[in-house]
Amino acid sequence: MADFVLVHGAWHGGWCWRDVLPALHRAGHRAHAVTLTGLGERAHLMTPAITLETHITDVSNAIEMEEMQQPVLVVHSYGGMIGTAIADRMPARLRHLVYVDAVLPKPGESWSSTHASATRESRLAAAQAAPDFSIPAPDPSEFGLSAGQAEWVKRRQTPHPGHTYQSVLDFDPGRVAAVPRTFVSCTQPALATIEVARQRARDSRFWNGAWIGGGGVRVVEMKTGHDPMISAPDELARLLLGCC
C-alpha cells in the first residue's frame, strides 16, 4: 500500500481530484486531497495575509496529520511551487514527486517569474482591485475544458490569494532532485503559462544539471488539456499508480 497526497493548482480545491481518488483507493492505496487555505471549501478563510508559505504549511501539515509514510506527492499547476518546497524541506519523506503540468521554478523565482509581462500586470491589477487581494478565476475553457466539465469547474472555482503570485521560493535543487520525479506535460491544448516549465522538464541543463540527477526524472505527455484530473482522470490515475 502506498500513500498519495494530491495538491491542486490555482483557483481549484481538493474537489478537482474527485474522479482520480476512487482509482487510487480501488488499487488499495491511501490518498488525501489537500485544499489550500483560502480556496475551495476553505474560501471563507481568504485574506491578504495568505502567502506561498501558508500553502507550503498546509501541505506539510497534511502529510504529518494524515501520518503519510513515504507519500507520492502530486502537485498541479501553481502547486509545483509547493511541491518543490516540500521536496527541498523533507526529501527523505517523499517516495515520488509528480508535477502535473506544473510550475518548475529556479531558486529565487516566484510563480509569476516565467509569465509574460502582460499576464503579470493583468493579474496584479486584478488583485489590487479586490478588497482581499485575490486573483479572479479564468474561464475553464483556458484549461481545455468544455460543456459539462467546464460548467462543473466554473461553479467550483474561487479567487486565488494574490500574494502567492510573487512569493519567492529559495531552495536547493540538489535536495529536490534527490526525490524521484515525474513531469506530466499536458499538450492538447497546451496552456501558455506552463510552456517554460515544459521546456525546463526536457532540458538536461536545468538546475545546472541537477534536474536529471539524484532520484532521476521522467517526462510523460498526456494529450489532454491543463486539468487532466478532470478531462482524463482514468489515464492520470494509471500514470500515478505507476509512480508507487
Catalytically active residues are 77
Cell numbers for 62? 497534511
DSSP labels, the chain? --EEEEE--TT--GGGGTTTHHHHHHTT-EEEEE--TTSGGGGGG--TT--HHHHHHHHHHHHHHTT-SSPEEEEETTHHHHHHHHHHH-GGG-SEEEEES---PPTTB-TTTTS-HHHHHHHHHHHHHSTT-EEPPPPGGGGT--HHHHHHHHHH---EEGGGSS--B---HHHHHTS-EEEEEE-TTPPGGGHHHHHHHT-TTGGGGGGGSTT-EEEEEESS-S-HHHHSHHHHHHHHHTT-
Sequence-separated (6 or more) residues with CB below 8 Å from residue 125: none
> What does residue 193 show for φ and ψ, rounded to 5 degrees?
-70, -10
CB count in 10 Å sphere of residue 28: 8
